[in-house]
Amino acid sequence: MNTASVSLGASVSSQSRFMQLALAALLGTFIIGFVGFSHIDAVHNAGHDNRHSMAFPCH
């Protein structure tokens, strides 16, 4: 995301490391939220069996 970290190789600063990992976790949370928690009907219906089988709150 921030251009400074692109050039950083093996010696990633701890702040950049934190940011990158936090970003990855945030992306994962967003994906889970979209598939499992979206109130959009089409998304709900497409993932219906999955939502029930993952025990996400559904319906």
Partner 1 sequence: MNLFRNVVFIAAIAGLVAGVALACMQAYATVPLILKAEVHEQAEGGHSHENAAAPAPADAATGNAMSSSAPAASNAMTPAPAAQAAPEEDEGWAPADGFERFAYNVVSNVVTGIGFALVLVAVSEFAGGIGNWRQGVFWGLAGFAIFTLAPGLGLPPELPAMPAADLTQRQIWWLATVVATAIGLGLIAFRKSLPLTILAVLLIVAPHIVGAPQPDSFETPIPEGLHHQFVVAVTLTNLVFWLVLGAVVGIVRGRFTGTATSLRDSFA
Contact residues toward partner 1 (CB under 8 A) are: 1, 5-6, 8-10, 12, 16-17, 20-25, 27-32, 35-37, 39, 41-42, 45-59
Given the structure tokens 């939220």, which residue do they identify? Answer: 33
User: Dihedral of CA 32/36/40/45: which sign?
Assistant: positive
Taking CA 3 as the corner, what is the angle to CA 28 and CA 7, rounded to the nearest 5 degrees? 100
